[in-house]
Amino acid sequence: MKTNQKIRTLNEAISWRQQCKEKNQKVVFTNGCFDILHAGHVTYLEEAAQLGNKLIVAINADASVQQLEKSPARPLQSQESRAQVMAALQFTDCVIIFTEPTPKEIIEQLTPDILVKGSDYQIQNIVGADWVLQHGGEVKTLDFVPGYSTSAIERKIISAHGLGSDK
């Protein structure tokens, strides 16, 4: 399947999800900004994908990223660019961009079998966890790979180029 075919609208993703159900395929869902894809992201996503048969990755739209408490320069890459990079990963099966502050609506529309977030989240605080559990699914957290962070990469770039100082 071509990379751009993995990037779906919500309606396309709902239809695709239904096809997965009909084939008894276990669908895993995760979400994030994925602004600068790094080895930590790849490890996390690959581990998430191994929990089921198909992986959905929901990406925060540009406006949604700007609402999060990250650097004012974020996102560093457009939502289209981030979606294409995510879709290019062989273990990613569906990519959807969400504009809402959280992926709650998408989770409720898709009702994944397994909802996954990083271990910095407590299961009871994961958006959509209650919905997934009420519908017979599972919610899991995965450990981060130490030493990888988009924010740290951004700080390193700024520091290396003397940006953000009072020069």
Taking only the tens place, the pLDDT of each residue in 75-110 is 888 999 999 999 999 999 999 999 998 999 999 999
Distance CA 38, CA 35 (A): 9
Taking only the tens place, the pLDDT of each residue in 24-59 is 999 999 999 898 888 888 999 999 999 999 999 999
Q: Has this prediction a pTM greater than 0.85?
A: yes
| Beta carbons of 87 and 59 less than 8 angstroms apart | no
Whether cis (ω within 30° of 0) applies to the bond prior to 75 is yes
Taking only the tens place, the pLDDT of each residue in 62-75 is 888 877 766 666 68
Domains of the chain: 3-160 (3.40.50.620)
Please state, in angstroms and as integers, the Cα–Cα distance from residue 66 to each residue in 5, 73, 101, 156, following that order: 27, 8, 10, 20
Q: Which residues contact 2 (CB under 8 A, 6 or more apart)?
A: none
